[in-house]
Amino acid sequence: MSKLTIRDLKLKDKKLLIRVDFNVPFKDGQISDDNRIIQALPTIMYALKKRAKVILLSHLGRVKTEEDLAKNSLAPVAKRLEELLGKPVVFIPETRGPKLEAAINNLKAGEILMIENTRFEDLDGNKESKNNPELGKYWASLGDLFVNDAFGTAHRAHASNVGIASNIGGAAAGFLLEKEIKFIGEAVDNPKRPFVAILGGAKVSDKIGVIENLLKTADHILIGGGMAYTFVKAQGNDVGLSLVEDDKLDLAKDLLEKAKGKIILGTDVYTAKEFSNDSEKNLRDYTNIPADEMGLDVGPKTLELFKKYLKDAKTVVWNGPLGVFEFPNFANGTVEIAKFLSTLTDATTVVGGGDSAAAVIENGLEKGFTHISTGGGASLEYLEGKKLPGIECVNDK
């Protein structure tokens, strides 16, 4: 990789600022998925082993009101990190000030401290999210070196990534960011072939740039999920009550023409009369969905068709579920593709965040994949071929 990494830094006794992505989901006050914390551990443990004084920065949720402050503290995340590391994590419930500065100055080599949610600074003028120059300069002043390991926010120029990097003389990539650059970047720029992309999710509009970019490099693009029905309708078929972006029908038609057979749609679909897990499930042809039914999952023939294209692939990038993944009765297509991809031992398999990553993790299939991205929006923009500020701010070697 052409970017500077944490391996290139002399860390002993240095105050090392690490931007991590601990924006984890909560349910009933408990962390419901700690994957992002686990993915950051290699970088953190490496820095501790090299006797750095580690200072972590992360955001959590959005902070617009006083109530957001109460529910978006990183205190429970610091506690979970402490459990995973098996060593104390000093948590400072502040984002700036004498108490924070004193705690950092008291850190010994091999110790770790976490600053409160960087987006607490958004309560007064979006200082974090708008990359306030004074804030980036302040945070940079707290450390000697900076490592960015937060791919989840790499598509945003914030004070805690670009702001720090521009005030501390640059940044190095952590191991997670390095993996994201390697696997997503190489998949798009220099894939082993055949290269097959799987795109799902609700809307075509979310993935226009991705489809256009992948048409340049992918051998085939398999399309499922809600976005498929816009393409099916663009071909002149009736899709009933299925999710369709009518204002994107001409665009879908253009993409199909441009693709020259690269875009593969399904042949059958599970439908229901209501958008509900308990609605009666029917198997229909894509081209013959009744007027009072909607497509909610791919059918068995579609799965077999997709598997035919995937079985010999050498590179697979998957982003977005193939059905309504939050409904167990309509999650089968997504889960089956996750299981099938986990058996492709001779291929580089990369899953981009969100529900597709959840399908892999919830079914214990992580070890069957080359890489599970921690970034939803970031991985989409990277697949579009965009330059991401959080990667651009990392120094070249």
Reported as a single tens digit per residue, the pLDDT across 85-98 is 999 999 999 999 99
193 in any annotated domain: yes
Residues 197 and 125 in one domain: no
Q: For residue 43, give the H/E element and its range.
A: helix 35-49
Which of 156, 175, 194 is the C-terminal boundary of a domain?
A: 175
Maximum average pLDDT range among 203-217, 250-264, 340-354 = 250-264
pLDDT at 287 over 90: no
**What is the pLDDT at residue 384?**
86
Tell which wins on pLDDT, 14 or 28. 14
Which of 138, 158, 175 is the C-terminal boundary of a domain?
A: 175
Tokens of 185: 């970047």
1 in any annotated domain: no
Number of domains in the chain: 2
- The arithmetic mean of pLDDT across residues 198-224, rounded, is 92
- The arithmetic mean of pLDDT across residues 355-368, rounded, is 89
Range of the domain at 376: 183-383
Q: Residue 386 phi/psi, 5° resolution?
A: -75, 155
Tokens of 100: 């924070």
Residues 341 and 193 in one domain: yes
pLDDT at 281 over 80: yes
Contact (CB, 8 A) for 375 and 202: no
pLDDT in tens, 51-66: 999 999 999 999 999 8
pLDDT at 330 over 70: yes
390 in any annotated domain: no
Distance of CA 243 to the CA centre of its chain: 24
**What is the pLDDT at residue 393?**
94
pLDDT in tens, 147-185: 999 999 999 999 999 999 999 988 999 999 999 998 888
Residues 216 and 312 in one domain: yes
Amino acid at 374: T
**What is the pLDDT at residue 273?**
97
Tokens of 368: 């069957």
- The arithmetic mean of pLDDT across residues 280-303, rounded, is 96
Tokens of 70: 């109460």
Residues 204 and 144 in one domain: no
- The arithmetic mean of pLDDT across residues 98-112, rounded, is 98
- The arithmetic mean of pLDDT across residues 300-310, rounded, is 98
Task: Give the residue among 250, 247, 223, 222 at the shortest CA–CA distance from 234.
Answer: 250
pLDDT at 30 over 70: yes
Residues 160 and 97 in one domain: yes
Residues 21 and 162 in one domain: yes
pLDDT at 142 over 90: yes
Task: Give the residue among 86, 79, 63, 55 at the shortest CA–CA distance from 149.
Answer: 55
pLDDT at 354 over 80: no
Residues with a catalytic annotation lie at 36, 203, 354, 377
Residues 171 and 189 in one domain: no
Residues 216 and 149 in one domain: no
pLDDT in tens, 229-280: 999 999 999 999 999 999 999 999 999 999 999 999 999 999 999 999 999 9
Of all residues in the chain, the percent with pLDDT exceeding 90 is 80
pLDDT at 1 over 70: no
Which of 128, 159, 175 is the C-terminal boundary of a domain?
A: 175
**What is the pLDDT at residue 353?**
67
